[in-house]
Amino acid sequence: MKEKTLHKDDKLKSSDEVNSLILYNDNLNTFDHVIKSLVEVCGHDFIQAEQCALIVHLRGSYEVKTGPKEILNAMSRSLNAKGLNSKVNS
The pLDDT of 58-72, averaged and rounded, is 97
* pLDDT tens-digit map of 17-50: 789 999 999 999 999 999 999 999 999 999 999 9
> Torsion over CA of 20, 73, 64 and 54, rounded to 10 degrees?
130
Question: Could you tell me the pLDDT band of residue 16, with boundaries at 50, 70 and 90?
Answer: low
Buried b (16+ CB within 10 A) or exposed e, 39-71: eebbebeeeebbebbebbeeeeebebbebbbee
φ, ψ of residue 15 in degrees (nearest 5): -80, -15
pLDDT number for residue 90? 86
Q: Which amino acid is at 51?
A: Q
Going along the chain from its start, the domains and CATH numbers come out as 19-89 (3.30.1390.10)
What pTM value is reported for the model? Answer: 0.81
